[in-house]
Structure 1
Amino acid sequence: MKSYLIGLVGSGIEPSLSPALHEAEAAALGLRYVYRLLDSDVLEGDLGELVRTARRLGYDGLNVTHPYKQAVIAHLDELSDDAAELGAVNTVVYSGDGAVGYNTDWTGFAGSFTEGLPDVPMRRIVQLGAGGAGAAVAYALLSLGAGQLTIVDSEAQRAVELADRLADRRVFHASQDGLADLVANADGLVNASPIGMAQYPGVPLPEALLRRELWVADIVYRPLETELLRRARAAGCRTLDGGGMAVLQAAHALELFTGRTPDTSRMLTHLKELANA
């Protein structure tokens, strides 16, 4: 029986639930599957060396997370069409053709959004965060029919660059100075920044901007109930946590690594157990 060795490359990833999530589903599928953390903070190696070394050591693939989803592209041999369009990769598969980059974040978010917020208005959406995950979320929102998407990032130039790369007349960028007016006129808000993660606690915007008519989605999944979502629910907003995206992107990645189709309902149940442990 073939065995699989997979790694997660990122910074400060020790709290990640990905190893347990992947290994549990692989075991349920009857696979021999080992998932290891390759934390750049611990290994102190540069990103390109990590990607090359993992292949030499027999890894079958990698997941890539903050802050390397864009930077990893320079170290790959090929990209899927959507990863190339997005300029972001979260899954790398090693094969005879080299290291091939994919993006399962955007399909994960799209699937989770469709399931969790199926009938919300999408005329005007504000997105916080223009990094690798933000690129995937923006792509997903456009594919789902967003009327106008305005991207805001703490590093203003990143928002400009993402809007330019998406090259869609529905996409705009704005500075944080205009956030209050943008949110006041928006149907929905998506947090695609790392704010709210265990290592980046807090909320990405003032609580006073939250109102009942606004739906709020957060892609952070550790914790599942971020401070943003807690405050949004208190304000009467419909909300979507990051659990669905985490599961669906992981399931798609696992399928790319192994060729087997995971049970996403089973994975979601397991993620909730892990997150609440």
Structure 2
Amino acid sequence: MTTVDLNCDLGEGFGAWTMGDDAGLLGVVSSANVACGFHGGDPTIMRGICETAAARGITVGAHVGYRDLAGFGRREIAVPATQLADDVLYQLAALDGIARVAGTRVRYVKPHGALYNTIVHDAEQAAAVVDAARSYDPTLTILGLPGSEVLRIATVHGLSTVPEAFGDRAYHTDGRLVSRRRPGAVITDPGAVAARCLELATTGTVTSIEGEPVAVRARSLCVHGDTPGAVGLLRRVREVLTEHGITIAAFA
């Protein structure tokens, strides 16, 4: 790739509780996945991020998840498909309303945590996410894991899709993300994260936790906002990619 997007999850605090360095992250990303209140985020946080994103030309995406504040959206929940579609629609519309007041709008949808992982293989829940996005705005892009059900179904229904890869997460040889419960699942060394992102951008592969090369064709690279030192990780990623002639630009 000669151009790649850098995305990050932001706005995941809630009220008096903070999560990640949103101000610092908005200084290095090209796309911001903004929490919509179900796993993190609140109206004041959402508006502040959207205003900063609008001022800096950063693309805003809806970071939708299960209704799970206590578990930070990382617990799989058996939600009926119709209810899930409504929950996603609710989050998407809430963020887009705030974004428009702030001078921007939501351009894409990226599910969070357990929902993200579930719709890699669960066609019913993936279809619910796609249905919500398509019903609200058929010009929205879906950001997700390469080869996932959600990207396949979105394509069938005419939505734009963008596959992404994670610089701070370990992969299995089959392309799945390693569970956060396993040691080594989250990578926090700046040099290692930057090297992985460069490998992904230049070769379309990454080395799995089993030591094997994995094909991961992605147009967007993500570092999680709650990963320790996330701002420093993204700054190093941006530096290394730029040094190798790769332009950082939003996909939407």
Q: Same fold (TM over 0.5)?
A: no
Give the structure with higher Rg (CA): 1
Using the size of structure 2 for normalisation, the TM-score is: 0.31
TM-score (norm 1): 0.29
Structure with the larger helix share: 1
